[in-house]
Amino acid sequence: MPIKPLNDLTPDPSDRTRKMQRTAAAALYAVLVLIALYTAHTFISVVVWAGVIAIALWPAFRWLERRPVFYRHHIALSALVTAAIGLLFVVPFFIVAAQTVAEAQDTLRWFHEVLRTGIPMPAFIEHLPMGAQSVAHWWQDNLSTPLESSPAVKHLHSATVVAMTRHFGGRVVHGFVIFGFMLMTLFFVFQAGSKLGEQLLSGSRRAFGPDGAALVRRMAESVRCTVVGLVVVGLGEGALLGIAYAVTSVPHATLLGMLTAVAAMLPFCAPIVFLGASLWLLAQGSMIAAACVAAFGLIIVFVAEHFMRPVLIGGSTRLPFLLVLFGILGGAETFGLIGLFIGPALMTILVVLWVDWVGARN
């Protein structure tokens, strides 16, 4: 067997040059991507929100796209769906704002009155099963006296109220600006349609192989199930409890039902609203109505949180209930409101990687 000369075992300079060029190109691409992300970092949340909504509505959008009336009007369909989503969010906000403005005069009159005279202690406090004396004593010291000199509101000066109002107004304006950019992004996502989805899958397949593309599909499915589980179940809870408010003569039952629906989209937050309504009924002397609202609300929340929502979120993605809960609550704490939807998707990645690792080991 002939022995190769020593010169044949040395690396080819051209190969070494190409390897250095590939490494330099990869580093350059990474730097450019990081610079681009930093430049647009203010709008990353906008893109994520638009992506979540597009993923959730994509099956419905594709169904509308195949209808004869929209068959050759893809841009019109994208604009129509985007406008419908905008109205779905904006109209309730303006209803609440109009209701607030309509009652602002009565609210201000009541506020000035309690500043002068205080808030009378409700009669039911004397009949509390425990702690009645302590609660009554605190109420008398802090709320029954004129609130202008009450220890409970001694730090609430007019300058503080003005600063809080200005901050709240600024946050509202900022929210509307971000919402407008989100709708614009959503329109272009819908307009790109299946081409954008195919590009994302192709990029994932090229970067991570077939398993990467499958993982992207699972993440999208998880986001869609999470939106259904949070939004649809929340709207159902709000509708049922809104009926309960109307039957028990709670004021502004429709508005309170909408508030309950929004709170119910966050796990275990709906009781804050309906228990508050129950306490209001109790303060008015309607003990039976208060008990009915509280009991009905607790039953609805128990069924929704322990049966319907885990099945809708974790059923098709096969996530255990505990991981669903960790994904929702942990995602909200880490990423804010958008974390409610991307948290379960991250838990899906964890489960898929664990299953693949266990399967590979076996």
User: If we measure between CA atoms, which residue out of 189, 4, 161, 160 comes closest to residue 85?
Assistant: 189
DSSP 48-112: HHHHHHHHHHHHHHHHHHTSGGGTT-HHHHHHHHHHHHHHHHHHHHHHHHHHHHHTHHHHHHHHH
Separation CA 340–CA 338 (nearest Å): 5
Domain range annotation of the chain: 32-105+152-198, 109-151, 205-362
Average pLDDT estimate for 127-152: 65
Rounded CA-CA distance 185/48 in Å is 10
Report the pLDDT value the prediction gives residue 299, as an integer from 0 to 100: 93
Query: What pLDDT was estimated at residue 156?
Result: 54
| pLDDT at site 252 | 78
Report which residue type is found at 283.
Answer: A
At 316, the pLDDT band (50, 70, 90 cuts) reads: low
Judge whether 118 and 144 are in contact, CB under 8 Å.
Answer: yes
For the whole model, what pTM was predicted? Answer: 0.70
End-to-end CA distance of the chain: 43
Q: Which amino acid makes up residue 9?
A: L
Structure tokens belonging to residue 121: 């202690």
Tokens coding 30: 């990474």
In this predicted structure, the answer to whether residue 287 has a pLDDT above a threshold of 60 is yes
Angle between helices 104-117 and 74-102 (to 10 degrees): 40
Mean pLDDT in residue range 38-54: 86
Confidence class of residue 112 from pLDDT cuts 50, 70 and 90? low
CA–CA gap between residue 174 and residue 43 (Å, rounded): 12
Pick from 181, 116, 126: nearest CA to 153: 116
d(CA 237, CA 243): 10
Confidence category of residue 187, pLDDT binned at 50, 70, 90? very high
Percent of the chain with pLDDT over 90: 7
User: 315 falls in which pLDDT band (50, 70, 90)?
Assistant: low
Return the number of other C-beta atoms located less than 10 Å from residue 131's C-beta: 10
Section 86-99 average pLDDT: 79
Copy the structure tokens of residue 96: 């609440």
Q: Which residue has the tokens 């307009």?
A: 191
Q: Tell me the pLDDT tens digit for each residue of 218-238.
A: 788 878 888 888 888 888 898
Q: In the structure, what pLDDT confidence band is assigned to residue 160 with cuts at 50, 70 and 90?
A: low
On the question of pLDDT at 256 being above 70, the answer is yes
pLDDT of res. 64? 87
Beta-carbon contacts of residue 176 (< 8 Å; ≥ 6 apart) = none
Residue 195 is inside which H or E element, if any? helix 194-208
Please tell me the distance from the alpha carbon of residue 146 to that of residue 111, in angstroms, as a whole number.
Answer: 11
